[in-house]
Amino acid sequence: MPLLELMQWIQNLGEGHYEQPKNENNGSLITNKKGKVKRKFQLYKDLVATLEQLTTTLKLHQHQQKTLECTREDWISGLSHDLKTPLSSISGYAQMLESSSYDWSAQETREFASIMNKKSSYMMELLEELTLTFRLKNQAQPLAKEHADINEFIRRIVIQFINDPSNTEMKFSFVPAPQSIHAHIDPIWFQRIIENLISNAVKYNSAGTEIKISVSAIEQHLFVVVIEDDGIGMETDVLDKLFDRYYRGTNTHTTPTGTGLGLAITKQLIQLHDGSIHVESMPEKGTSVRIIVPV
């Protein structure tokens, strides 16, 4: 009987039922309520332990597969929508220009062409970022690290945002590390990391928000960049999905723009620098993003 019940367990696994055989009271035939192997199965306890581990692993994989399928469907749905929208605009304006029932003025033609150009540029950006995120995932995007003064590197990026006329309603401050910090980073990709995070702080907050960027060191081995704001903050469900590919946190103050791949790419680039990123946020309290990278 123990062998038959163990064979039933294996058959359950083969049929996709990831659980032990049950008795008439829906309890396990093989283990007691405390999870201990019953006496008649003691001879096969090593096999029981292996089957328990296999059952747990298969159940976990089943859950991960379902989660992945849901995520993929959401991602494809969002991607399809964001490709369809600009394509519809381009097609609509092209049909208007092609129509012989109306003669468009030169100014109107230029306006149509400008809109079509913006929509096509957005699509190109989306496709390029899709390519980049898959290259990063498959480790096909090597870094070209250079020696850099981190204080000066971050300061120059902050100055660019301060001097941008579109950011005049935001308040920026920069706090460098008291001591000089030198590290090996890829200047192009690390600049993109910092720019993405500051851009998000600008994009998803209202006018008057203060954005503070600070640099510090942990002993001689790590440097830390913190980007914090006193803006609208985020709910927990937004935080949980923040770095998912093609997920965009939204709020009532802004219309979401961009490809939805920025933060996913940012996290991948930080990981390529052997670093980590952590985000803390509370609604109406603001957001703090902390990057830790080895020197």
Q: Which residues contact 100 (CB under 8 A, 6 or more apart)?
A: none
Note the pLDDT tens digit of each residue in 126-173. Answer: 888 777 777 777 777 778 899 999 999 999 999 999 999 999 999 999
Which pLDDT band, with edges at 50, 70 and 90, does 253 fall under?
very low
224: tokens are 């830390």
The alpha carbon torsion through 239, 240, 245, 249 (nearest 10 deg) reads -30
**CA 94: distance to chain centroid?**
35
120: tokens are 């096509």
**Cβ(246)–Cβ(263) under 8 Å?**
no
Q: How far is CA 253 from CA 201, 231, 233, 236, in A?
A: 13, 11, 12, 18
Which pLDDT band, with edges at 50, 70 and 90, does 246 fall under?
low
| Closest to 200 measured CA to CA, from 154, 270, 143, 247 | 247
What domains can be seen in the chain, in order of their start residue? 1-141 (1.10.287.130), 146-294 (3.30.565.10)
Mean pLDDT value across residues 257-276: 81
Sign of torsion, CA 256 259 260 266? negative
The pLDDT value given to residue 260: 58
SS3 category, 211: strand
39: tokens are 């006496």
111: tokens are 């306006």
Of 9-18, 151-160, 175-184, the least confident: 9-18
Which pLDDT band, with edges at 50, 70 and 90, does 38 fall under?
confident
Instruction: List, as one string, the DSSP characters of 212-261.
Output: EEEEEEETTTEEEEEEEE-S----HHHHHTTTSTT-----TT----S-S-
Which pLDDT band, with edges at 50, 70 and 90, does 258 fall under?
low
Which pLDDT band, with edges at 50, 70 and 90, does 175 fall under?
very high
